[in-house]
A and B are shown apart, each in its own frame.
Chain A
Amino acid sequence: MTPSNDINGTVLEPVGQKAGLFDMSPNYKKRKLGLCVRNYLDCCRYEAYRIKVTRASYIALLCSLLSIIGLSILICTIYTVRANDLSPYQLITTDPVFLSLSGTFLAQLIIGVFAILSVTNEYGYGTIVTSALLEPIRTRFLLAKLIVVSSVIFLSTALALSVAFLVGEKILSARFQVVSILSLTALKSIAGSALYLTILSCICIGIAVSIRRTSGAVATLFGILLLLPIIVSLLPSPWAGEIGKYLPGSAGVVLAHSFQISNMMSPLKALAVLACYAILWMGLGIYFITHRDI
């Protein structure tokens, strides 16, 4: 349809064309794809801007950064001071890389709560109404949030873990054989831990969208990370190990180690298991957000 001129010479554009009702052009599908990508980018910019201007997000990220570095310093110092008391077996099984990345397991709670709040705050404050008006396709809203939150978490935790690794290895180098940060093992473990926290945040977003309340979502997260391992360990011996090694926390332990631990998953398998958890929870979240009223 071409714009037509009315008597006064003003260009009349049919509203329908503007709204895309009569779009019959041959590269319609291509344009539609481009539009979809642009919508996702714009939506991500919106989410990123809102994280940028919220003070609480800086506090959460700073806390996780401090806990990653702080716990690393603490654990590494204790190991270095008490190195003489360790048995030869303990000395062999001690992984300096894991020790310096041990802050991951404190930060996972803070990161998890940060990811949960990014969703449940929307419901708590009612901003979900604005978000849903801006993004009528709710899957897009959720996935854009996931992309932004997980990117922020990946970048900030990767940075914090690198610093923790450098500091930790510096302390441990007095008594242990340490590796350089540029070695493949070190990079693999740092990236693995950062990915563990990132995928965990995806799981948390899935939980948060499904539950919608901060208290319930945080309780679920703590249940999965802290209670579930205890309950599983109560099971009789072959079961406890066989089930326990597939828990998200165990996957995190595997990823933070520089060598393969016996009777545990391989790092790649651990990543795959984590991804499965994330896909399951996100699937549940997408189902709920598209099927429930705001």
Chain B
Amino acid sequence: MPAKYFILSGEPSQVAATRWGAMIEANLLTKYYKKIPVVSEASFSVGPGKITGFIGPNGSGKSTTMKMILGLIAPTSGSATINGRVYRDLEQPIKEVGALLEPSFLHPGITIFSHLLSIAIRYNIPSTRVGELLDLVSLSGKKKLRCGQASLGMKQRLGIAQALLGDPNIVILDEPMNGLDPDGIIWLRTYLRHLADEGKCIFISSHLMNEMALLIDEVIMIKEGKLIAGGSLPDLISGHSSAYIEVLTSDNAALTAALKAYSGQAIVASAVIDGDVFIKVRGISTKEVGNIALENDIAVYHLRQTLRSLEDIYLDLVNTEQKENIDAIK
């Protein structure tokens, strides 16, 4: 295993990881299943104090990547490290990284409480912590229920409790919102934000784009095993948005003329949205548009900076790739 030499050689990034907080790093992570690439050369890092979203279509290699980070699947080549070490080398793994992978991780004959307690016993965690976590995920009333009788949402809650049991600095959650009720989703969102504010590193995958847009700071997008986009969410959105301003006024023609007179960079077009004739402005701020309208005595009914949603960008990126692939085949 090259992993041990990797630590001793003291790669700068690893020293940084141990000094500056929790981190996940993937370095040219690749997995082939019988010559079919599932993940190819994925390199990324997930830093502390942030929620990083891992987004991609079904079968794009999200879960495989997470399992490789957690040492469940051996990468064909490349490596994934947690705080500079591969999962195998962690002495008390669940105290460094907590994970929720799939909902079928429970023995149906064991009660919810016993399941958590068994893990607490393994890592010498006081049993009061189990109670606290059951309270946290609002399962304390159902702790005597056997896992086989628990609903999907309850299993997810239990999985989240299990991930947090060791109070780890890194939390990896694979589709944690599946089966959660709206209350649960809101709770999870606020709680994960709270954890990130404490400096923890949260790595979360989901296909609920609107939920993710509310939750994450950073985004890593994967498609067919290849990373197609990454970076902070605002950067991604502004980078992929043809941001424009929608304006609805009493005199569109006058405003158009005034805007063109004000700035040569302003690109103005008109558009019909829901029966109203709007003008779309680009290359100028909302404030400037408002001021110009005021100077020209034009009444403004609607003035809005449009940004594309994460979902739009996601669909765009995924489909562009597809188009490129089709072009390449042609």
Q: Please report A residues at the B interface, Cβ cutoff 8 Å.
A: 14-16, 19-21, 35, 42-43, 45-46, 49-50, 53-56, 121, 125-127, 129-130, 132-134, 136-137, 293-294
Min CB distance, A52 to chain B, in Å? 9
In the complex, the answer to whether B93 meets A46 with C-beta atoms within 8 Å is no
Bound CA–CA A130/B101 (angstroms)? 9
Is B157 in contact with chain A by the CB < 8 A criterion? no
- A-contacting residues, B91-115, CB 8 Å: 91, 93-94, 96, 99, 101-102, 104-111, 114
> Contact check: which of B84, B93, B102, B107 meets A134 at CB < 8 Å?
B93
Bound CA–CA A119/B110 (angstroms)? 16
> Contact check: which of A19, A55, A126, A130 meets B18 at CB < 8 Å?
A19
Bound CA–CA A135/B84 (angstroms)? 19
Bound CA–CA A50/B107 (angstroms)? 9
Bound CA–CA A45/B99 (angstroms)? 22
- B residues in contact with A125, CB < 8 Å: 104-108
In the complex, the answer to whether B109 meets A16 with C-beta atoms within 8 Å is no
**Interface majority SS on A: helix, strand, loop or mixed?**
helix
> Contact check: which of B18, B74, B107, B117 meets A21 at CB < 8 Å?
B18
> Contact check: which of A49, A56, A129 meets B121 at CB < 8 Å?
A49
Given A49-B118, A50-B114, A137-B88, 13 extra CB contacts under 8 A: A14-B18, A16-B19, A19-B85, A43-B122, A53-B110, A54-B109, A125-B108, A129-B102, A130-B106, A133-B94, A136-B89, A136-B90, A136-B93
In the complex, the answer to whether B71 meets A136 with C-beta atoms within 8 Å is yes
In the complex, which range does the number of interface residues on chain B fall in? 35 or more
- A residues in contact with B18, CB < 8 Å: 14-16, 19, 21
Is B184 in contact with chain A by the CB < 8 A criterion? no
In the complex, the answer to whether A53 meets B111 with C-beta atoms within 8 Å is yes
In the complex, the answer to whether B107 meets A121 with C-beta atoms within 8 Å is yes
Bound CA–CA A14/B20 (angstroms)? 9
Which of B19, B99, B119 counts the most chain A CB atoms within 10 A? B119
Bound CA–CA A183/B204 (angstroms)? 65
Bound CA–CA A55/B107 (angstroms)? 11
In the complex, the answer to whether A54 meets B99 with C-beta atoms within 8 Å is no
- A residues in contact with B67, CB < 8 Å: 293-294
In the complex, the answer to whether B121 meets A133 with C-beta atoms within 8 Å is no
- A residues in contact with B121, CB < 8 Å: 42, 45-46, 49
Bound CA–CA A53/B120 (angstroms)? 14
Min CB distance, B145 to chain A, in Å? 13
